[in-house]
Chain A
Amino acid sequence: MNRRYSGLAALVAGLVVGATGAEPVAGPSFTAPEVRAILAHGPWPPPWQSDPSNRVSGQPASIAFGERLFNDPRLSRPGTIACASCHLPPRSFTDGLPRAHGLAATDRNTLGLANVRRQRWFGWDGANDNLWAQSLRPLLDPREMGGDLAHVAAVVRADADLRERYRESFGAPPSAADEPVAVDVAKALAAYQETLATGRTPFDEFRDALARGDDRGAARYPAPARRGLALFVGKGRCNVCHLGPDFTNGEFHDIGIPFFAGPGRVDAGRHEGVRRVRASRYNLLGPFNDDSTRQTATATRHVAAEHRNFGEFRVPSLRDVARTAPYMHNGSLATLRDVVRHYSELDEERLHADGEQILRPLRLTDAEIDDLVAFLESLSASQANSSTSRSR
């Protein structure tokens, strides 16, 4: 099993020779394992896959209906807050605030929605296992949009345009039963959000040039970003958690960000997330999953509750990360430089004593910090083909 890369190793060994060959290339050249690590962060974009748990996934009428709903403040109780009030397209669907503020203040930083369809667990604590359940949550949360199932269903029934779009999507006008109508609204919202994707980035161009053995193409990647990449897959070991094309393993860790949410309040993170996803009526084991095989529910069926989950949060994707400041589950770090400094100066005392032995302070020089920031910035698409580009 650990031999699976032997063929690829031979292939990339050749590439390294290529990269250090005749034409001088700015910045460090990479060892064979580093090249394999870099190639593992692509290709991008990934292929479209519809969501079997949502029967309107990928349906054009539902995508259009979902986009309409996403921008409609009437879905909130007082009619003042839409999804788009917190998830702003130019900021890769975040709001620029440390912690979101809807009808009241919340404890969490707004997550971006680009590439959201590729998550396994939703929210910083993974309290939902599917995109439509996660889309129902803000509609009902008193601090966000403050409605309930009846309010959501009533808004759709009362408006001729929304009613017609609902019928087009789901084959019948909204029924008198609130819950199925509200879940369908969430499924249309999910269908729209599945189309939000980030485009190709300078990093992707470099990665593909490396895969092709194209030195000239690879040389276009700026030297600071290239040195930062070497740190990311090298001594920084960032790719232990920020792995794959999405730069996340989709799981939960504690990197020493405080979980005190306010006087006398803690954010238990994944510990509470596991409890909530299991208890949710809208999880993939529940009655609203449109995948009758329940194959989509494997993760939920097997997820374990561990003591160490307390204070763990989801590893965020790093695509478009330059657009989603401030950072971390509580928005406590303002800039990418602050994030890199956090990893550089990590307080080991703050990491749980019985926790994972993965992180240690990197003690980076100022120049290394600049390089790592330059690399993180190279994970954002140019404005033109960014977040609003459709995956299909």
Chain B
Amino acid sequence: MDARARQVNAFPVAVAVGTLLLVAADASRACGEALRGTTGRAENARYEIVFAAVPAPLAAGKLFSLDLAVCPRGGAAAPNALAVDATMPEHRHGMNYRPTVVARGTGTYRADGLMFHMPGRWDLLFDLVTPAGTERLTATVLLE
């Protein structure tokens, strides 16, 4: 859940490759490094999504936004679009609000209009529209 944990892993890799390939060193930088505060993450073999809530920390029953970074892995194509939604699988309901997502360039996005209206387990659903089809990444958030 913390971007710094990832950075710690990525750093030795960058050192090992050395500065021979600046591009490679750049690509191995932690995804979403520029995001402020505590971050969460969703990932699969082809994509990594790092997100931070605004305002933080998240509170039940309060509207919030997400700042997001989407990082393709292993040569996967950059997505054309991102959609964000959330559900409470244990309660079998979604949000009472429909978020909108705006691309902010270089793989970063802003999602507005989210609310977790009760405490418990929420699954954040990220749908990436890619040239190869739509794929869904999920991150679980436990809200007190």
Contacts and interface: CB of A to CB of B under 8 A. Distances in A.
Contacts of A298: 63, 112-113
Contacts of A36: 144
Given A303-B96, A306-B96, A1 B1 contact: yes
B18 interface: no
Contacts of B61: 243-244, 248-251
Contacts of B59: 244
A1 B53 contact: yes
Given A2-B142, A244-B60, A302-B97, A356 B92 contact: yes
Interface stretch (B19-27, B72-80, B115-123): B115-123
Contacts of A355: 93
Given A252-B96, A298-B112, A357-B91, A5 B63 contact: no
Contacts of B117: 249-251
A2 B143 contact: yes
Contacts, number: 85
Interface string A1-39: 111110000000000000000000000000001001100
A104 interface: no
A258 B98 CA distance: 28
Interface string B52-65: 01001111110100
A104 B137 CA distance: 54
A150 interface: no
A302 B91 contact: no
A88 interface: no
Q: State the majority secondary structure of interface residues on A.
A: loop
B97 A299 contact: yes
Interface magnitude class on chain A:
20 to 34
Nearest to A249: B61
Nearest to B65: A298
A40 B118 CA distance: 13
A256 to B, nearest CB: 16
A358 B91 contact: yes
Contact of B95 (A37, A240, A304): A304
Interface in A225-247: 239-241, 243-244
A301 interface: yes
A238 to B, nearest CB: 11
Contact of B97 (A303, A356, A357): A303
28 contacts: A1-B56, A2-B144, A3-B2, A3-B38, A33-B144, A36-B144, A37-B144, A40-B144, A239-B119, A241-B118, A244-B60, A249-B117, A250-B61, A251-B61, A251-B115, A251-B118, A252-B96, A302-B63, A302-B98, A302-B99, A302-B112, A304-B95, A304-B97, A306-B94, A308-B93, A357-B90, A358-B91, A358-B118
Given A2-B142, A40-B144, 11 more contacts: A2-B141, A2-B143, A4-B38, A4-B58, A5-B144, A243-B118, A243-B119, A244-B60, A250-B117, A252-B96, A298-B112
Interface of A: 1-5, 33, 36-37, 40, 239-241, 243-244, 248-252, 298-299, 301-304, 306, 308, 355-358
Q: Which 5 interchain pairs have the tightest Cβ spacing? A: A302-B113, A249-B61, A4-B57, A2-B142, A302-B97
